[in-house]
Structure 1
Amino acid sequence: MTQSDSVRRTRDALAAHLDALGIREDTYHLFGAHLNDAMVMDQRPEGWVVFYSERGGEYSLKIHAEEASACADLLDRVFDEEQVFFDLVAGPAPADEADAAFDAWLAKRGLDRERLGKSDWKFDDVPGVAGPYWRRYFVRITEIRRLAQAH
């Protein structure tokens, strides 16, 4: 069963579904606004459109006759992008600073790296920055919400 099999049939219902799944709000827009690096849905005279928006451009645009089909398309596209499930919690900073900031973020919540599920966090080293790589740490949004409720 794909995500589109369980999709909500309206934009409002899809918005609630995406929020419940912990999808970052800045990665999609359901009412036509052009956000940079986001999936967008809009209702236009030619039908319901779904596209990727970057710097005002509309890429991979697909037209749908029905709202439900457009909702399914947007959900499938969002699910193809792992980063939409994570929020930045430390960095970008030099590796030592980012490591310390992430450990402090965890300690504030009574955790350490071993006690946070391996699939609930990740890091990367950002290339293209002068000097040493800069590191970033991300935590799954649903886990951040769970931790906030626990404290």
Structure 2
Amino acid sequence: MQQVKTIPLKLYNYGGELNDLVQSYTSGMNYVSTVVYEHGKPMGSDKIQKRVYQDVRNLGLLSQMTCNICRQVAGTYKTLQEQIKIDRAEWQEIRYRPTNVTFSYRRDFTIAKEWVSITTLDGRKKYPFHMYSSAEQYFDGSWE
């Protein structure tokens, strides 16, 4: 079974293009959240994607990011539904804050030595990053 590991990276010298990307990604998340909320119950990511794909793409986001948004929002509303079942929450519209973007390796980003290449709204950009000592094992293959 394939293992997935999330590793935070600290980027150096990134310009406003990443901030613009985070803002657009958040706008996409909030748009999709509104669509699901108005539907009145959670939907699977495929159904969401069929309804909102072109609208989210019109925000300037690429295909993979649009698909990631649909999966992320579907998961959030599925969690909300589980909380409703045990009387710990009520049906509500979920609003996202601009804090991050979910990237897919080799589609939205790649890593080579001390550089990470990220797809932004303005195309592919390379940024230097800080390698945390706790993450080194995942890059040199010694963790397997």
Q: TM-score range with shorter-chain normalisation? A: 0.3 to 0.5
TM-score in terms of structure 1 length: 0.34
**Could you say which structure has the greater relative contact order, defined with CA pairs below 8 angstroms and 6 or more residues apart?**
2
**Which of these two proteins has the greater Rg computed from alpha carbons?**
1
TM-score in terms of structure 2 length: 0.35
Whose strand proportion is higher, 1 or 2?
1
Whose helix proportion is higher, 1 or 2?
2
